Amino acid sequence: MGLKDKLHKLKLKYKGKKMAPAFNAIHTFLYLPNETTHSGSHVRGADDLKRTMNTVIMALLPCLIFGMFNAGYQHHLAAGEIEAVANGFFSAGFWSIDNLVVGLWKVLPLVVISYGVGLGVEFLFAVIKGHEVEEGYLVTGMLVPLIVPIDTPLWMLAVAVIFGVVIGKEVFGGTGMNILNPALTIRAFLFFAYPTWMSGDKVWVHGAVERAGEIAGGAQLDAISGETVLGSLAQGKEISYSVADMFLGFIPGSVGETSAVLILLGGLFLIFTKIGSWRIMASAVLGALAMGLIFNGVVNAEWISEGSKFYSLMSTEFWHHLIIGGFAFGVVFMATDPVTASQTNKGKWIYGFLIGFISILIRVFNPAYPEGVMLAILLMNVFAPTIDHYVVQGNIKKRMKRLKLKTA
């Protein structure tokens, strides 16, 4: 008797008991369900929730692997132990084992805590409420480590994950019922509960906080700075990174958000597999470009002085907003969440455009927190049902008008 048959017998043994949801979740994770529909009409399809979640994880894996190498690279670069890479993806200095070791040491614990705590809460609620454990957290568990700073304390992450899963999802009824993206709910909790660990110029590079404390009374403060591109622009500083660096991802930032090229490839993969909405992605880009062009126009018209605290981000080339910060990552992997996004085609265009538009608006007018995509997506999550409601009502009115014309 094989392992699958033994587990199936155990599944039948636990059927109807309190711990059945937890056991069924483990069984389903390892094997495909062997139940089939015997009566009534049904649709045969090769996709299910687990396959859908696994596809998104596949799209995220390149960002995770690159983030590990970049974490080590930024650490060694800030410490003055290596020189900046010259050949981008083809530089042996970037893909060195030393960089990977640092990345594994810092990123893997974030992944373990994210999945361990999050799935623990999911299992607990499944047992208490007596429903099946669904695979919705598989993607959330991967997103969370990719959208936080590298040195985020593990206990903070654990507290935030508990809050995000309970308040952001379970209180609404679980997977498929939540109105807010759980990963962004976790990130928002971290930002507002522990702001000093989520912003500034020391949290984005491993070891920068500790080294800052060690040499606070000494010299070489520049050697431990890990300020992001957005952080520099928000303070009116000139950035030292090239467009290629920003596009490829050789810059400080959250673990998985720096490489725009890998995020773009992940987005194309999601579109090809029909999991991510191209309408939301395209409209969000259009919204960001529109807001960027408006700000560039304000600067060119000299309606704002060069000394203004908003000037640097306003004068940034409008299309640069697409490749700096977490905009690309948020639009591709979180704005397209099928549960919290708009469902109608016209609604997706409106929803995505407003996300892009508001993201750049917050980015420019909130120098204390120059990254606005998180707040923009959460805001539009709340308004997505309203957008769909008015789109549907508009379609009904058009049909009623056509019906009246026909019967007149």
Residue 99 and residue 122: Cα distance in Å, rounded?
34
Is pLDDT above 70 for 73? yes
Q: How far apart are CA 28 and CA 134, in angstroms?
A: 10
Buried b (16+ CB within 10 A) or exposed e, 241-268: beeebbbbbbbbbbbbbbbbbbbbebbe
Task: Scan for tokens 């907003």, then name that residue.
Answer: 321
Instruction: Tell me the per-residue pLDDT of 76-105, one tens digit each, with 9 for 90 and over.
Output: 988 888 888 877 787 888 999 999 999 999
Using DSSP, state whether 38 is helix, strand or coil: coil
- CA 367, chain centre distance (Å): 21
User: Could you count the other beta carbons within 10 Å of the beta carbon of residue 63?
Assistant: 26
pLDDT of 358 reads: 96
Cα 18 to Cα 185: distance, rounded to the nearest angstrom: 30
Yes or no: say if 14 and 27 are a contact pair by the CB < 8 Å rule.
no
Tell me the CB-side half-sphere exposure of residue 159, using CA atoms within 13 A. 12
| Residue 237 dihedral angles phi and psi, to the nearest 5° | -90, 160
Higher pLDDT, 1 or 403: 403
Inform me whether the pLDDT recorded for 187 exceeds 60.
yes
- Largest Cα–Cα distance in the chain? 86
Taking a C-beta distance cutoff of 8 angstroms, is the pair 341, 376 a contact?
A: no
- Does residue 404 register a pLDDT over 60? yes
CA pseudo-torsion sign 160, 259, 178, 386:
positive
Are the C-beta atoms of residues 325 and 233 closer than 8 Å to each other?
no
What pLDDT score does 271 carry? 96
pTM: 0.86
DSSP state of 94: T
**pLDDT band with cut points at 50, 70 and 90 for residue 336:** very high
Of the candidate ranges 4-13, 137-146, 390-399, the one whose mean pLDDT is the lowest: 4-13
Backbone angles phi, psi at 365, to 5 degrees: -90, 5
Cα torsion 274, 267, 135, 191: sign: negative
> What's the mean pLDDT when you consider all of the chain?
84
Does 221 score more than 50 pLDDT?
A: no
| Amino acid (one-letter) located at 239 | I
Q: Which amino acid is at 175?
A: T
Is the pLDDT higher at 21 or at 56?
A: 56
